[in-house]
Chain A
Amino acid sequence: MTCPEARSILIELLYRELPAGQRPALTAHLDRCRACQGARRELEATVAALDRWTPAVPRDLHARLAAALGLRSGNCL
């Protein structure tokens, strides 16, 4: 596996969506390529940073929506 090939599927590895068939080749490449190890760490840091951004959802969002749409809360929304 080449570096561009490895980097094109790194994100799937982090999302745990890499097809099982591709994992051994990527793991083997990462074991021996320091540049791609660094790319993996950077991507992990970016994913972790994105995970920390959580917009607060109003507690009464559902009830307000139901009221605005003329529905009984819990009925349809």
Chain B
Amino acid sequence: MGRHAAALFAFFRRLGCSPAGAEDLVQTAVVRLYQTRRRYQSGRPFRPWLYGIAWRVWRDHQRRARRERRQAPPEEEPLEEVPSTAPDPFQRAQEAQEQTRVRQAVQRLPASQRLALILRHYHGLTYEELARVQGVPPGTAKWRVHQAMATVRRYLQRPQGGSRVP
């Protein structure tokens, strides 16, 4: 499980959680994985099961947050990302800004597309695995990834300063 904790943390961060929130959700997900371990069928792919649980943990958290009317928008702190090692301060600032733009683009996606893109791109799930996590046919999972990629591309191509994804 050790190697999965960091991946789960990054997963929740990319979905839009704060660092403290992501850590709490990793903890919740690990507990839930342990509680439901008997339902995991040995020999079946592990990642769809792992991220299926993580996704439900995040979804439950979102619902609870909405109910309690304390859902915060994604933070705008560029220092949350891995700091650049570029020697030039200008280049470092530019790289931090690029990371922020990508984060904004991903976090503005509809939830189903955001999940599809994150699991496909950052966690390497196949469309079949993605489909299992999302409970949709593989074709739908693939469509969501393609749509998400296109939306992110359009967002990144826009001049900076606007707020609407075309």
Contact = CB atoms under 8 A, between A and B. Distances in A.
Given A55-B13, A57-B6, A64 B23 contact: yes
Given A61-B23, A77-B30, 6 more contacts: A50-B102, A53-B81, A61-B9, A61-B26, A65-B26, A69-B31
Interface in A10-66: 11, 17, 42-43, 45-47, 49-50, 52-58, 61-62, 64-65
Interface residues of A, number: 26
B153 A62 contact: no
Contact of B102 (A53, A62, A74, A76): A53
Interface residues of B, number: 36
Contacts, number: 82
B27 A68 contact: yes
B2 interface: yes
A8 interface: yes
A36 to B, nearest CB: 15
B5 interface: yes
Contacts of B5: 61-62, 65, 77
B52 to A, nearest CB: 19
Contacts of A53: 14, 81, 99, 102-103, 106
B30 A69 contact: yes
A54 B98 contact: no
B152 interface: yes
Nearest to B7: A57
A39 to B, nearest CB: 10
Interface in B18-43: 19, 22-23, 26-27, 30-31
Given A61-B26, A65-B27, A54 B6 contact: no
